Amino acid sequence: MRTYTTVLGKRDLQQLELTREEARDLEAAGFRFAEYSEEGGRFRLSAPYKIAQNLDRGTLTIMQ
């Protein structure tokens, strides 16, 4: 299972929005995308994936 950890910030975990940098990192790590558009700034991971948040550290871990 691939994992990627980033800053949680004030994200809506129901609709995970990724930055361009995060999407590039995820793609380089082998994550699969249902939608990947650098020009449009739209990045959507392919299902299935899991999200874990660590509120103490303020991090978000994506697993696919």
Is the pLDDT at 32 greater than 90? The verdict is yes
Residue 22 has pLDDT above 90, yes or no: yes
Q: Which residues, listed in sequence order, are joined to residue 5 by a DSSP beta bridge?
A: 61
Q: What is the dihedral of CA 19, 23, 29, 31, to 10 degrees?
A: 130
Q: How confident is the model at residue 15 (pLDDT cuts 50, 70, 90)?
A: confident
Mean pLDDT across the chain, nearest whole number?
94
Q: CA of 41: how far to CAs of 20, 22, 37, 55, in Å?
A: 7, 11, 6, 27
Question: Tens digits of per-residue pLDDT, 37-47?
Answer: 999 999 999 99
The domain ranges of the chain are: 3-63
pTM, rounded to two decimals: 0.88
